[in-house]
Amino acid sequence: MNRQAHTQSFQLPDGQEVIIETGKLATQAHGSVVVTVGNMMLFASVVSAHEAREGQPFFPLSVDYQEKFAAAGRIPGNFFRRETRLSNYEILISRLVDRAIRPLFPDGYMNDTQVIVNLISGDPEILPDAYAALAVSAALSVSDIPWAGPLSEVRVAKIDGQYKVNPHRTELESATLDIIVAATLDNVMMVEGEADECSEQELIDAIKVAHEAIKTQCSAQLDLAQKVGEKATVKRVLEEAPSSDEVMGIVAEHCTDDIWKVCRGAMAKHDRKEAFTQLYTDLIEKLTESKGEEWMTENKDFLKKYFEKKKKEIIRAQILQDGKRLDGRATDEIRNIWCEVDYLKSTHGSAIFTRGETQALTSLTLGSKRDEQMIDNALGQYNEPFILHYNFPALSVGEIKPMRGPGRREVGHANLAQRSLKQVMPDDYAYTVRLVSDILESNGSSSMATVCAGALAMMDGGVPLKAPVSGIAMGLVKEGEQSAVLSDILGDEDAVGDMDFKVTGTAKGICACQMDIKIDGLPYDLLTDALEQARKGRLHILGEMAKTLETPREDYKPHVPRIEVIRIDKTFIGAIIGPGGKNIQELQARTNTTIAIDEDETNGIVQIMSEDAAGMKEAIDHVKMVTYMPSVGDVVDAKVASVMPYGVFVDFGGRSGLLHVSEFDWKRVENVSEYFKEGDEVTVKIVDIDQKSGKFRLSRKVLLERPERSGGGDRNGRDRRS
Stretch among 218-232, 535-549, 614-628 having the lowest mean pLDDT: 614-628
DSSP calls for 621-649:
HHHHHHT----TT-EEEEEEEEEETTEEE
Q: How far apart are CA 406 and CA 404, in angstroms?
A: 7
**What is the reported pLDDT for 653?**
76
In terms of pLDDT, which residue wins out, 108 or 360?
A: 360
Burial class (CB in 10 A: 0-12, 13-18, 19+), 678: exposed
Long-range Cβ pairs for the range 257-263 (8 Å, 24+) = 259/310, 259/311, 259/314, 260/314, 260/318, 263/314, 263/315, 263/318, 263/326
Tens digit of each residue's pLDDT (9 = 90 or more) over 138-157: 999 999 999 998 999 999 99
The three-state secondary structure class of 22 is strand
Cβ(458)–Cβ(435) below 8 Å: yes
Residue that wins the pLDDT comparison between 437 and 287: 437
- Count Cβ neighbours within 10 Å for each residue of 259-293 and write b for 16 or more, e otherwise: beebbeeebebeebeebbeebbeebeeebeeeeee
Please report which helix (H) or strand (E) contains residue 428, including its range: none
Measured between alpha carbons, how far is 437 from 712 in angstroms, rounded to an integer? 84
What is the number of other CB atoms lying within 10 angstroms of the CB of residue 563?
21
Distance CA 297, CA 287 (A): 11
* Cα dihedral 257, 258, 263, 267 sign: positive
Residue 605 CB neighbours (<10 A): 18
* pLDDT for res 480: 87
Instruction: Please give the pLDDT value at position 475.
Output: 94
**Model confidence over 462-486: pLDDT tens digits?**
999 999 999 999 999 999 889 999 9
Q: What is the pLDDT of residue 709?
A: 63
| Domain 245-322 is found in CATH 3.30.160 | no
Which segments of 292-337 does DSSP mark as H helices, in order? 293-322
Report the relative pairing of strands 510-517 and 499-505 from DSSP bridges: antiparallel
Asked if the model's pLDDT at residue 719 lies above 60, the reply is no
**225, exposed or middle or buried, with CB in 10 Å at 0-12, 13-18, 19+?**
buried
Residues 6 or more apart whose CB falls under 8 angstroms from that of 692 comprise none
704-to-106, 208, 685 alpha-carbon distances in Å: 93, 75, 11
User: How many Cα neighbours within 13 Å face the side chain of 3?
Assistant: 11
Look at the alpha carbons of 586, 558, 562, 630 in this order and tell me if their dihedral is positive or negative: negative
Q: For residues 487 and 501, what is the distance between their CA atoms, to the nearest angstrom?
A: 10
Sign of CA pseudo-dihedral 47, 50, 52, 53: negative
**Average pLDDT for residues 160-175, to the nearest whole number?**
95
- Dist. CA 65–CA 101, nearest whole Å: 14
Q: What is the 3-state secondary structure (H, E, C) of 382-411?
A: EEECEEEEEECCHHHHCCCCCCCCCCHHHH
Distance CA 407, CA 393 (A): 11
Q: Answer yes or no: are the C-beta atoms of 420 and 469 closer than 8 Å.
A: yes
On whether the CB atoms of residues 72 and 147 are closer than 8 A, the answer is no
- 543-571 mean pLDDT: 94
Q: How far is CA 197 from the centre of its chain?
A: 15
Structure confidence at residue 613 (pLDDT) = 86
Mean pLDDT across 68-92: 91
Span 19-45, average pLDDT: 96
Q: Does domain 635-703 have CATH number 2.40.50.140?
A: yes
pTM score, whole prediction: 0.87
Confidence band, pLDDT 50/70/90 cuts, at residue 239: confident
Q: If you average pLDDT over residues 197-212, what whole number do you get?
A: 96
What's the CATH fold of domain 6-233? Answer: Ribosomal Protein S5; domain 2 (3.30.230)
SS (H, E, C) 36-89: EECCEEEEEEEEECCCCCCCCCCCCEEEEEEECHHHHCCCCCCCCCCCCCCCHH
Average pLDDT over residues 529-535: 95
Report the DSSP beta bridge partners of residue 209: none
pLDDT recorded at residue 532 = 95
Domain map of the chain by residue range? 6-233, 245-322, 337-546, 562-626, 635-703
337-546: CATH number = 3.30.230.70
Low-confidence winner among 274-288, 505-519, 583-597, 700-714 (lowest mean pLDDT): 700-714
Q: Which of 46-50, 139-143, 582-586, 598-602 has the lowest mean pLDDT?
A: 598-602
Residue 452 has pLDDT above 50, yes or no: yes
What mean pLDDT do residues 248-273 have?
92
Q: How far apart are CA 440 and CA 394, in angstroms?
A: 9
In this predicted structure, the answer to whether residue 108 has a pLDDT above a threshold of 90 is no
Q: What is the reported pLDDT for 722?
A: 32
- Which DSSP symbol is given to 292? -
How far lies 199's CA from each of 350, 507, 605, in Å? Answer: 30, 11, 36
pLDDT at 419 over 50: yes
Q: Do 245-322 and 635-703 share a fold? A: no
The side-by-side arrangement of strands in the sheet containing 510-517 is: 162-165, 151-159, 177-184, 188-198, 510-517, 499-505, 470-479, 482-487
- Note the pLDDT of residue 712: 47
Average pLDDT over residues 246-257: 92
3-state secondary structure of 534: helix
What lies within 8 Å, CB to CB, of 415 at 6+ separation is 88, 92
Residue 110, pLDDT score: 93
SS (H, E, C) 329-392: CECCCCCCEEEEECCCCCCCEEEEEEECCEEEEEEEEEECHHHCEEEEECCEEEEECEEEEEEC
Q: Looking at the domain 562-626, which fold is it?
A: Ribosomal Protein S8; Chain: A, domain 1 (3.30.1370)
* Closest by Cα among 145, 146, 109 to 241: 109
